[in-house]
Amino acid sequence: MTKRKQVKTYNSQKEAPIPKGRLLAMGGAEDKGHAELKEEQNKNIDFISEEILKRFVAELRGDNPLVAIVPTASTVPDEIAKDYQAVFTELGVKNLEIIDIRARKDAYNETYCEILEQAAGIMFTGGDQLRLTSILGGTPALELMKERYTFQDIIIAGTSAGATAMSTPMIYEGETHGGYIKGDVRITTGLEFMKNVAIDTHFIARGRIVRMSQAISTNPGCIGIGLEEDTAILVTEGKEVEVLGSGLVTVVDGMGISYTNIYEIKTGEPFTVRDMRVHLLSRGERYTLPIYDQLHI
């Protein structure tokens, strides 16, 4: 009988440290206190004005904390940065800086890196998540943010595209057929603050459950998180989730999938998946992401 080879036991604390930072991923259209969500306020008796952004401010550490706003995803970065400057100022944040990265060369700017080194909070605005990954991927600015998230008590937030880009895999297209046709959902590597998690935003408003299901069926080891508008998750220790806001968070768990034909059918055909689990979570709910500790980072 062949002796079974002993498998190395990994020290997750050493080789895959539990992040000391926190992530705040928002589904887009978060309330900024200017009646943007008046219809929601009228219908939802639990609606709290500016709940999500107020929580971001409350999570900042230190006296006179610095918030760095990163509008890279937007094609109108000046405009969107000013919007967040205004709302954070109203919420009592006095120390604000704009990280105006519009091209890859800007992500090597030492001044921007110094700001990111000092920031207590970082805010990625909405726009196009592919702009974020293609401009920031592999640059000193992104590596600094990821290092600080891993080893320091910082909060990193993103809304809409800024939230979608936080995870890997990252969905960046999939509207043509609602996502039920193989090949209609396009996926790439995100910013990798979270691995084996796919985040999608405007989830219920834009009917994105099917495209998320296709993404998860291609690799059931990933967990799908669908964030509705004015809804967010606060992630601590890399996998502990708290739900905030006025909508729902949809969790798509494919680990128990018993069958899918996604690898058998041709591009352009509808796919099948069976025994995929879906959870719907409202404000105050807590959820532990069933993801494995990374054996390498």
Between 31 and 7, the more confident residue is: 31
| Model confidence pLDDT, tens digit, residues 121-137 | 999 999 999 999 999 99
Q: Name the pTM for this structure.
A: 0.92
Residue 43 confidence (pLDDT): 73
Domain assignment of residue 91, yes or no: yes
Residue 288 confidence (pLDDT): 97
Domain assignment of residue 198, yes or no: yes
Residue-number span of the structural domain to which 109 is assigned: 19-30+39-288
CA torsion sign for 188, 193, 198, 202 is negative
- Reply yes or no on whether the pLDDT at 200 is more than 60: yes
Distances (CA, A) of 259 to 139, 210, 213, 250: 40, 16, 13, 21
CATH of residue 87's domain is 3.40.50.880
Report the range of poorest mean pLDDT among 26-40, 78-92, 256-270, 279-293: 26-40
- Reply yes or no on whether the pLDDT at 16 is more than 80: no
DSSP string, 49-74: TTHHHHHHHHT--SSS-EEEEE-TT-
CA atoms within 13 A of residue 92's CA, in its CB half-sphere: 12
Domain assignment of residue 12, yes or no: no
Domain assignment of residue 296, yes or no: no
Domain assignment of residue 135, yes or no: yes
| Model confidence pLDDT, tens digit, residues 39-96 | 655 677 778 899 999 999 999 999 999 999 999 999 999 999 999 999 999 999 999 9
Residue 41 confidence (pLDDT): 58
Please give the positions annotated as active site. 160, 202, 229
Domain assignment of residue 151, yes or no: yes
Residue 95 confidence (pLDDT): 98
**How many structural domains are present in the chain?**
1
Residue 22 confidence (pLDDT): 98
Domain assignment of residue 152, yes or no: yes
Residue 13 confidence (pLDDT): 45
Average pLDDT, the chain: 91
- Reply yes or no on whether the pLDDT at 9 is more than 60: no
Domain assignment of residue 294, yes or no: no
Residue 2 confidence (pLDDT): 36
Long-range contacts of 181-185 (CB under 8 A, 24+ apart): 181/268, 181/269, 181/270, 181/271, 182/214, 182/262, 182/265, 182/266, 182/267, 182/268, 182/269, 182/270, 182/271, 183/267, 183/268, 184/211, 184/214, 185/211, 185/214, 185/215
Report the range of poorest mean pLDDT among 15-19, 161-165, 182-186, 287-291: 15-19
Confidence at 175, pLDDT banded by 50, 70, 90 = low
| Model confidence pLDDT, tens digit, residues 205-259 | 999 999 999 999 999 999 999 999 999 999 999 999 999 999 999 999 999 999 9
Interacting residues of 228 by C-beta distance below 8 A, sequence separation 6+:
27, 202, 203, 204, 205, 245, 247, 248, 249, 250
- Cis peptide, bond prior to residue 220, ω within 30 of zero: no
Distances (CA, A) of 98 to 70, 72, 84, 192: 6, 10, 10, 22
Q: Over range 92-113, report the average pLDDT.
A: 98
